[in-house]
């Protein structure tokens, strides 16, 4: 006897979920190829159920209330965020990774840091491969409006972690800081339940401050940074570029750090903060 009939029998009628379906940014999801291009509400309900892998849209897990640390923006759409997180999960589960190894991850941080000097089409595929070997699936997912998030970190299983980032912020320094912040969660807060959701703002939560400090110190070691701001020529383009060369990182990371620490106004040296331009919102690699 087929086991499919009882499962299908438990599904509520499609028309009962029309109101729920309208809460999702379906047109944007279809444009990105996540769901089928359909216009009838009942067809959208079917497509959304398939996308989320649920028998009812009422069973879609909404991340508000599940997030740890820096939670999603209060004005964000829970449904948009759920869709963005689900797409990351789908990509992460399909990625091939080795079992997670804390030792391996710690050992490749320096090598990943050195790749920040390259263009993203050169660096991203290499970083993905290195992280996969450590048991981390790194996926770049196009931004959905009203998610209030540009990054998320979680465990798909005890042996596989997922780091998901969007293209919401295209500044080079923010992109790399976000990655190392996420890796900080995996190193400092391993195998936690729930989701760390990043919205790009500062947080007073201890767990987020720890990840921020981890990222900052990996990108620019604390002692080197202290010496630079005490004795270096950090106010000028030449001074910043010279320090960046000595650290083997792009100058944008130095400028971003100085601006974040309020040593430089946010209007200064922005010409050194390179922007990443993603083709058709599709990341490389």
Rg of the chain's alpha carbons, rounded to an integer? 21
pLDDT in tens, 134-180: 999 999 999 898 888 889 999 999 999 999 998 777 889 999 999 99
pLDDT band at 12 (very low <50, low <70, confident <90, very high): confident
pLDDT band at 194 (very low <50, low <70, confident <90, very high): confident
Residues 73, 205: Cα–Cα separation, whole Å:
15
pLDDT band at 22 (very low <50, low <70, confident <90, very high): very high
Mean pLDDT of 249-270: 96
Nearest to 29 by CA among 129, 56, 21: 21
pLDDT in tens, 2-11: 444 444 446 6
Mean pLDDT of 95-121: 96
pLDDT band at 64 (very low <50, low <70, confident <90, very high): very low
What are the residues whose beta carbons fall under 8 Å from the beta carbon of 44, sequence distance 6 or more?
A: 21, 24, 26, 35, 38
The three-state secondary structure class of 261 is coil
- Where exactly are the structural domains of the chain? 1-60, 61-272
First-last CA distance in the chain: 44
What predicted TM-score, i.e. pTM, was given to this entire model?
A: 0.88
Tell me how far CA of residue 75 lies from CA of 64, 81, 84, 148, 199, in angstroms. Answer: 11, 11, 16, 8, 12
Q: What is the mean pLDDT of the chain?
A: 88
Q: Quote the pLDDT of residue 63.
A: 57
Kindly state the greatest CA–CA separation across the chain.
78
Nearest to 166 by CA among 28, 23, 263, 15: 28
């Amino acid at each position: 006897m087929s086991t499919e009939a009882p499962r299908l029998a438990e599904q509520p009628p499609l028309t009962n979920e029309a109101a729920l379906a309208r809460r999702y940014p379906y047109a944007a999801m279809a444009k990105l190829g996540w769901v089928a291009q359909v216009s009838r509400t009942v067809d959208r309900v079917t497509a959304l159920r398939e996308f989320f892998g649920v028998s009812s849209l009422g069973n879609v897990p909404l991340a508000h209330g599940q997030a740890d640390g820096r939670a999603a923006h209060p004005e964000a759409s829970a449904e948009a965020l759920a869709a963005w997180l689900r797409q990351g999960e789908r990509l992460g589960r399909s990625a091939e990774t080795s079992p997670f190894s804390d030792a391996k991850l710690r050992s490749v941080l320096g090598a990943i840091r050195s790749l920040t000097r390259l263009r993203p089409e050169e660096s991203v595929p290499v970083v993905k491969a290195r992280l996969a070997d450590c048991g981390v699936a790194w996926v770049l997912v196009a931004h959905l409006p009203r998610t209030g998030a540009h990054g998320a970190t979680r465990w798909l299983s005890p042996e596989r972690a997922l780091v998901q980032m969007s293209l919401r912020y295209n500044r080079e320094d923010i992109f790399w800081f976000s990655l190392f912040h996420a890796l900080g969660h995996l190193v400092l807060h391993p195998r936690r339940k729930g989701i760390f959701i990043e919205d790009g703002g500062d947080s007073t939560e201890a767990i987020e401050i720890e990840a921020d400090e981890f990222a900052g110190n990996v990108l620019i070691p604390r002692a080197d940074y202290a010496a630079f701001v005490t004795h270096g020529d950090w106010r000028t383009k030449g001074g910043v570029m010279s320090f960046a060369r000595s650290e083997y990182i792009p100058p944008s990371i130095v400028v971003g750090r100085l601006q974040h620490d309020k040593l430089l106004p946010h209007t200064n040296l922005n010409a050194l903060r390179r922007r990443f331009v993603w083709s058709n919102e599709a990341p490389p690699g």
